[in-house]
Amino acid sequence: MPFLLDGLWMTVKISLFTIFFGSLLGVVVGMLRTLDYAVISYPLGAFIHALRGAPFLIHLYLVYFMLPLTGISWLQLEAFPAAVIALSLYTSTYVAEIVRSAIQAVPRGQSEAARSTGMTALQSMWFVVLPQAVKLMIPPMGGVYVIIIKGTSIVSVIGITELVRAGEHATQRHPKEMMMIYGLTALLYFAYCYPVLRLARWAETKFGSVRLPS
Amino acid sequence: MDWILDFYNYRVVAQYLPEFARGLGSTAWISLFALGISLSVGTIVAIMRMSSNPLLWRFAAAYIQAIRSTPLLIQIYLIYFTLPALPLLGRRLDELEGGIIALGLNAGAYMSEIIRAGIESISRGQIEGAMSVGMNYVKRMRYVVLPQAFARVAPPLLGQTAVLIKDSSLVSFIGVFELFGAGLVILNERLMPNEGFLTVAVCYLFIYTVMLWLTVYAQRHFGGSGD
């Protein structure tokens, strides 16, 4: 059991790092895509589709195994940063779409009114559009955070001892208790994810939600 | 041209093409079977979820929550490693069956939420019309409600299917050979991760693009996603 708790701590650590970096990157990408400059938005659209088109497992292997082969020294990543980077990139695509549709859901009149009072584009974004869009972003973000938490289970393949790997070790030591150990692992994930889903649902009833383009 | 061979040795990839073809085929089969399971489970769970019987809808809600809050990997492990011999089968599930069932049950929870949204979007008049021509509950569902509901939610169902196909890469963890497994073969035999995983990534990207086209087609064909 303490073994599993160590794993849980690792899972929490990875997911928190990823939530932070993934959201940051996603917000930037999403905001850039609302600018409607074809030069920016097409490559970013391609970036999003390329990342979404393959399973996360592939990104993880590419970041962990392929980047070191480029021979650039700062790309020789340890397992932990590789996991966080791969998961953050993957997450950012979801966040970017949420941010974009939330910003686009704010009526045009708002930004036009802001611009007509003499605000710059940045000011109108920061003071008028974003405060309204943020409320729309919160509910779907809950879903993305749960995807991140569940995604951390996959990083066990590159040798990080998170919850699933800790469970595997435990089953090797006590093969008879396999059902108990994996059941307990599932319960720990549930205990971590369920409140997040609950919170997202609560936020949805409070703030309403945006429809995502599929 | 040497740097290309250094970074991505296409000759090795050509040599392993049969492996990739086999992997692609087996990913397609696994996804197809899992899709069948997930749509059946999804429909049943969606109907249970809307039932007025508390036992039924509570069970369905618990199933959906349990699946959504735990990672697919642990679900695959639970089904493959810990299920004892099944009474009807007389033996334990092998890795292919375990993987497909886990994938199907996992996607079923997400599908059921989509299907439920579809069923709930069917107007009351349709059901009343069906009642007034004397259809019972099963016939109403079978001939009136479900066909319209599925047509409306076809685009999100296809999107979820794309997720299912990507998720099927996880069954390689319990030793099933599929597309991702083909990449692992090159990694293990030649120590060439680029050749293996870039090729696999391109294959997945191809599948994803096809799914994206299908979704756009469905959206046009069925006129929007039901609003």
Q: What's the pLDDT score for residue B4?
A: 72
Average pLDDT, chain B: 88
Q: What's the pLDDT score for residue A210?
A: 61
Nearest CA in chain A to B198: A62
Examine the pLDDT at B227 and tell me if it is beyond 60. Answer: no
Instruction: Answer yes or no: do A146 and B69 touch at CB < 8 A.
Output: yes
Question: What's the token pair of residue B149?
Answer: 């509901």
Class of domain B2-221: mainly alpha
The pLDDT tens digits of the residues spanning B140-191 come to 989 999 999 998 898 899 989 999 999 999 999 888 898 988 888 888 888 8
Q: What's the pLDDT score for residue B45?
A: 95
Examine the pLDDT at A68 and tell me if it is beyond 80. Answer: no
Instruction: Answer yes or no: do A197 and B212 touch at CB < 8 A.
Output: no
Instruction: Answer yes or no: do A164 and B78 touch at CB < 8 A.
Output: no
Examine the pLDDT at B226 and tell me if it is beyond 60. Answer: no
Instruction: Answer yes or no: do A183 and B73 touch at CB < 8 A.
Output: no
Q: What's the pLDDT score for residue B169?
A: 92
Q: Are A40 and A33 in contact (CB under 8 A)?
A: yes
Chain B residues at the A interface, defined by Cβ less than 8 Å, are 7, 65-66, 68-75, 77-78, 81-82, 155-156, 159, 166-167, 169-170, 173, 180, 183, 187, 193-194, 197-198, 200-201, 204-205, 207-209, 212, 215, 219, 225
Nearest CA in chain A to B160: A214
* Out of A75-84, B70-79, B153-162, B163-172, least confident range: A75-84
Q: pLDDT category, A111, cuts 50, 70, 90?
A: confident
Closest Cα in chain A, distance from residue B54 (Å): 21
The pLDDT tens digits of the residues spanning B48-62 come to 999 899 999 999 999
Q: What's the pLDDT score for residue B90?
A: 76
Choose among B69, B70, B197: nearest Cβ to A61.
B197
Q: What's the pLDDT score for residue A214?
A: 42
Nearest CA in chain A to B211: A53
Instruction: Answer yes or no: do B77 and A182 touch at CB < 8 A.
Output: yes
Examine the pLDDT at B225 and tell me if it is beyond 60. Answer: no
Q: Which of B83, B197, B216, B222 to mutate to test the interface with A (most CBs of A within 10 A)?
A: B197
The residue among A75 and A29 whose pLDDT is bigger is A29
Q: What's the pLDDT score for residue A208?
A: 67
**ipTM, two decimals:** 0.83
Q: Which of A43-57, B26-40, B72-86 has the highest mean pLDDT?
A: B26-40
Instruction: Answer yes or no: do B74 and A185 touch at CB < 8 A.
Output: yes
Choose among A58, A150, A156: nearest Cβ to B201.
A58
* Domains detected in chain A: 2-207 (1.10.3720.10)
Examine the pLDDT at A211 and tell me if it is beyond 70. Answer: no
Examine the pLDDT at B35 and tell me if it is beyond 60. Answer: yes
Query: Which residues of chain A make contact with B66, given a CB cutoff of 8 A?
Result: 190
Choose among A69, A171, A179: nearest Cβ to B194.
A69
Query: Which residues of chain B make contact with A179, given a CB cutoff of 8 A?
Result: 78, 82
Examine the pLDDT at B5 and tell me if it is beyond 80. Answer: no
Average pLDDT, chain A: 86
The pLDDT tens digits of the residues spanning B204-215 come to 999 999 998 998
Q: Which of residues 41-70 of A touch B (CB under 8 A)?
A: 49-50, 52-58, 61-62, 65-66, 69-70
Query: What is the rounded CA–CA span in Å between residue A140 and residue A200?
Result: 7
Q: What's the pLDDT score for residue B116?
A: 93
Choose among B4, B31, B20: nearest CA to B182: B20
Q: pLDDT category, A7, cuts 50, 70, 90?
A: confident
Note whether A164 contacts B: Cβ–Cβ < 8 A.
yes
Examine the pLDDT at B105 and tell me if it is beyond 90. Answer: yes
The pLDDT tens digits of the residues spanning A143-191 come to 899 989 998 999 988 888 888 888 888 888 888 888 888 999 999 999 9
Nearest CA in chain A to B191: A65
Q: What's the pLDDT score for residue A21?
A: 94
Query: What is the rounded CA–CA span in Å between residue A145 and residue A155?
Result: 16
B177: phi > 0 → left, psi -120 to 50 → alpha, else beta; which? beta
Name the residue ranges covered by the structural domains of chain B: 2-221
Note whether A84 contacts B: Cβ–Cβ < 8 A.
no
Examine the pLDDT at B81 and tell me if it is beyond 90. Answer: no
Q: What's the pLDDT score for residue B223?
A: 62
The radius of gyration computed from the CA coordinates of chain B, to the nearest angstrom, equals: 21
Note whether A93 contacts B: Cβ–Cβ < 8 A.
no
The pLDDT tens digits of the residues spanning A87-109 come to 999 999 999 989 988 888 888 88
Closest Cα in chain B, distance from residue A165 (Å): 10
Count of A-B CB contacts under 8 Å: 115
